Amino acid sequence: MRRRVSLALASGAAFCAAAVLAQQPPPMPAPPDVKVETVNVAPGIYMLVGRGGNVGLTVGSDGTAIIDDQFDDMAPKLRAAIALLSDKPAKFVINTHLHGDHTGGNDQFGRAGAVIIAHENVRKMLGRDFVNPATNEPVKARAREALPVITFADRAALHFNDDDLEFMHLPNAHTATDIVVRFRKANVVHMGDCFTGGFPFIDRNTGGTLDGLIAGHETVLATVDDSTKIIRGHGPLGNKAELQAYRDMLVVVRDRVLKLVKAGKSQEQVVAARPTKDFEEKYGGANFNAEQWLGRAYVDQQASLKARRQPSKP
């Protein structure tokens, strides 16, 4: 069942990161000192770290394919990093979700002939004009060549470089467009922004929910083992133990927030109660601070509770 994407404005929540994470990549030039760091994850598989989301790269006899492509102005730098490993340009671009720091390079890679693959909601959402509820600014649809040309609802696979890249949709998690990419043979997973080094950003404006994010973690945890390498959307290379710890943190904070919401506390009271306190040292430094996340978690859990109390009619 597909839930309707809520466009409700989360009142009082912090939106300072919204511009960075909006669908349209912002037109800021890459600072000249941004270098792309190439991390070897497994034979023929790399993580490219630059500005924006971490990029997954596979290099082999079929050529090259990338998972996410950062911002538009990073595309030449990503291309240069790929060229150090292969004389073949990216044949496929797989988008983990719609955000501009993961899809901003689509225009350039698409124009150069790469086939873009993503969940069907990425194409739907990037392909239409809309008003950003965070800023009330109209946002134009992305260029035709930036849109995924192969889309799927639940699962798909790409048989490339002697591996099977398995794509699985994680419904209403970080957004309503997320997929996890698994290299079945190499035992490498790219989780996009469903797993980062800091507190999560749950983008309600594009269908993200905390409960969905936790469910997504549980889905992925069931497919990985102790030797799986996990590429986060942002942050260092991870593993199963770290993913498990992250999921456990989400559950503890969710349950604490829900308890406060059920007790009728206001958003300000929930933030002041600091239900993230024992996790702030580990996760509070990157992406979103505890206050920003708690503001969003409050709105999220209030909506979740309301939905459970008033189930929609069949």
Q: What is the binding site for Zn ion (CB under 5 A)?
A: 99, 193
- Residue 221's CB is within 10 A of a number of other CB atoms, namely 14
CA separation for the pair 55, 148 (Å, rounded): 17
CB of 54 to Zn ion, least distance (A): 11
Closer Cβ to Zn ion, 99 or 169, answer by number: 99
- 158 three-state secondary structure: strand
Enter the DSSP assignment of 219.
H
Cβ distance to Zn ion smaller for residue 73 or 193:
193
Shortest distance in whole angstroms from residue 264 CB to Zn ion: 32
Q: Residue 189 region, left (φ>0) first, then alpha (ψ -120 to 50), else beta?
A: beta
Based on CB atoms, which residue is closest to Zn ion, 72 or 193? 193
Nearer Cβ to Zn ion (91/190): 190
Closest CB 233 distance from Zn ion, rounded Å: 6
Q: How far is the CB of 96 from Zn ion (least distance, A)?
A: 8
Least gap, CB of 179 to Zn ion (angstroms): 12
Output DSSP code: residue 159.
E
CB contact set of 137 (below 8 Å; sequence gap of 6+): 131
- The angle formed by the CA atoms of residues 178, 179 and 183, to the nearest 5 degrees, is 155
Q: In this complex, which beta carbon is closest to Zn ion, that of residue 163 or of residue 300?
A: 300
**How near is the Cβ of 103 to Zn ion at its closest, in Å?**
9
**Eight-state DSSP code of residue 251:** H
| Region class of 44: left (phi > 0), else alpha (psi between -120 and 50), else beta | left
Residues 79, 49 contacting (CB under 8 angstroms): no
Q: How far apart are CA 166 and CA 186, in angstroms?
A: 12
Q: Which is nearer to Zn ion, 73 or 101 (CB)?
A: 101
